[in-house]
Chains A and B, each alone.
Chain A
Amino acid sequence: MITEYNKIGAFSVLLRVFKRDIRIAWRRRSDIANVFFFFIIATSLFPLGLGADPRLLHAIAPSVLWVCALLSCMLSLPRMFANDYADGTLEQLIMSNQPTLLIVLMKTLAHWVLSGLPLVLVAPLIGLQFNLSVIELQVLALSLLLGTPTLSLIGSIGGALTLGVRSGGVLIALLILPLYIPVLVFGAGAVNAVFVGMGASGGLALLGAMLALSLVFAPLAASMALKIAIE
């Protein structure tokens, strides 16, 4: 019959949400690999297509890497909530004993670890193809480290709003691209500033501010969108 079970704390529940998403993604490795290889392929095609002019490659490097990071992040957004929505586990997540807001935050964190963090780690290696110096590579990695979580957070709103919508992928792009543009401008801008000797701190500080802002508001908006979607 029904027995009493050991209770677990709020943090433990949230940690399990995170671990569950990581585990599922690990069992569907091809999905994460797709996003990762898209980034590598897209960025590597530029040096090949543009020819071996080191000055040109150097000049476009920050923009190319940032645009590709943004696109590959967007590629994985439709999957953020859609699978949970389709198999009914989203209802369970919403009916858990934790606020939906925190559950969304955990899922977003998992999304970033799976799609954003690999890009941060591989970007310095790819930057070498573009003739970037060590300090420029460092700033590039740092700007991605601050910027990609913002992309995941803003993306969670798009993913939640387009649940159950046909051709949601295109709609997500339309919805969130305007919100991505400031991240792109200041992310690539931070690296470009190093080129002209201005120092990257301004751009990085703005990226940090955008991260803080989206950390507060994006899970709130996404959890509201989810509640509307499952009605």
Chain B
Amino acid sequence: MKSEVTKNVLNVTDLECVRGERILFKDISLDLESGNLLYVQGANGSGKTTLLRTLCGLSQPEAGSISWNNQDIRELVEDYASQALYIGHLPGIKADLTAVENLQFSAALAGSDVSREQTIEALTQVGIAMCADLPTRVLSQGQKRRVALARLWLQSNPLWILDEPFTALDGLAIKALTKHVEAFVNTGGMVVFTSHQIPEFNPDIMQRLSLD
């Protein structure tokens, strides 16, 4: 999917988000396009998660607008929501389903049919192929995290929104994920992420946004 990639643009204009009575941030403007990687920095409570959820369309901003390919996301609704792949603090996997079932269902929600072999392949990439048929209830915190992240190897959404993707991962997994995200960006993907660890992405392709 190299040459036929359609260029996508995400524009954020004068975004303001409020939690309770407190203004988290205001006047945030961003212009992202395919091939961009944005690192959102900020202290605890500075509104990183809120910003990411707002970009997903899960939270409504107090003021400002977000548009995807020059159309307001409030008008696009599910047409936009299914473009973005959001992995948040919660793993988003069902404890009673196996890793394979979870991944197949997540892919189905985005409208794609994923075979068992393809999910096993993705689980191999994140190093937990041996857990493929266990209910995720019995997995450790880090393993659950990896099941959630395996979606990144399976789904072809053009925009990834990752909230602290590196937490609970060991060194090897962090390397694999970094490489995968970089490859995705280089083939025309768009990524917004937060992290408390300093990420090891190539600084040339990484933009920064500080909320402090």
Give the B-binding residues of A (Cβ under 8 A): 1-8, 12-13, 16-17, 20, 23-24, 27-28, 83, 86-89, 91-100, 230-231
Question: Is the beta-carbon distance between A94 and B81 smaller than 8 angstroms?
Answer: yes
Our pick among B86, B114, B183 for the contact of A1 (Cβ within 8 Å) is B183
Pair A95/B58 contact, Cβ less than 8 Å: yes
The listed residue (B94, B110, B156) touching A89 by CB distance below 8 A is B94
Shortest CB distance B137–A (Å): 10
16 new A-B pairs (CB below 8 Å) besides A16-B105, A27-B135? A4-B1, A5-B107, A8-B108, A8-B113, A24-B97, A86-B90, A87-B94, A89-B92, A89-B93, A91-B58, A92-B106, A95-B109, A97-B78, A97-B82, A100-B78, A231-B60
User: Is A91 a contact of B94 with CB atoms below 8 Å?
Assistant: no
B160 to A: closest C-beta gap in Å: 11
Contacts of B167 in A (CB 8 A): none
A7 to B86, CA, bound (A): 20
In the complex, whether B111 has a CB less than 8 A from a CB of chain A is yes
Q: How far is the CA of A20 from the CA of B110 in the complex (A)?
A: 15
CB contacts between A and B, total, < 8 Å: 111
User: If the complex has contacts A88-B91, A91-B90, are A4 and B156 also in contact, measured as CB distance less than 8 A?
Assistant: yes
Min C-beta distance of A220 to chain B, whole Å? 14
Give, as a whole number of angstroms, the nearest-CB distance from B34 to chain A: 13
B124 within 8 A of A: no
Shortest distance between the CB of B97 and any CB in chain A (Å): 7
Residue B79 at the chain A interface, CB threshold 8 Å: yes
Residues of A within 8 A of B79 (CB): 97
| Shortest CB distance A29–B (Å) | 11
Residue ID in chain A nearest B85 by CB atoms: A95
When the two chains form their complex, are residues A97 and B118 in contact, meaning their CB atoms are under 8 A apart?
no
Given A94-B81, A98-B78, A230-B58, residue A1 in contact with residue B187 (CB < 8 A): yes
Asked if A91 contacts B97 (CB within 8 A), the reply is no
Complex Cα distance A190/B92, Å?
44
